[in-house]
Amino acid sequence: MKEISVVELKAKIDAKEDYQLVDVREQYEIDICSIGGDSIPMGTVLNETEKISRDKQVIIHCRSGQRSAAVIMQLESAHGYENLYNLTGGILAYADEVDNSLTKY
């Protein structure tokens, strides 16, 4: 599985690169803290694959990186995606290493 660090993601954000960020957490988690991106909760992502790009890098994240890793494995095996990257450490790592103003939960 391909991965991207939170520092690498921040560099992409700052450079305004063309990529898709997908948050697979539940809405109540997004309400606590968010780094943006498209909200497609883990429980619905396999039914909403039309929302996930095949034409550019897609970075998928959750709280710690475990749910997003599971989603990536399912999307790659069941739908043939090859452009997915897991955000290592999830939003917790982003809060620790990039933006400590984010609320951790």
Evaluate whether residue 104 is within a structural domain.
Answer: no
Give 59's pLDDT tier (boundaries 50, 70, 90).
Answer: very high
The pairing of beta strand 84-87 with beta strand 3-4:
parallel
pLDDT value of position 32: 97
Whole-model pTM? Answer: 0.97
Mean pLDDT of the region 20-47: 97
Mean pLDDT of the region 37-53: 97
Here the CATH number for the domain that contains residue 33 is 3.40.250.10
Write out pLDDT tens, residues 77-101. 999 999 999 999 999 999 999 999 9
Write out pLDDT tens, residues 68-77. 999 999 999 9
List the catalytic residues: 62
Evaluate whether residue 65 is within a structural domain.
Answer: yes
Evaluate whether residue 38 is within a structural domain.
Answer: yes
pLDDT value of position 81: 98
Evaluate whether residue 37 is within a structural domain.
Answer: yes
Mean pLDDT of the region 14-41: 97
pLDDT value of position 8: 98
Domain encompassing residue 33: 3-97
Evaluate whether residue 103 is within a structural domain.
Answer: no
Name the domain count of the chain: 1
pLDDT value of position 37: 95
Evaluate whether residue 60 is within a structural domain.
Answer: yes
Evaluate whether residue 77 is within a structural domain.
Answer: yes
Evaluate whether residue 105 is within a structural domain.
Answer: no
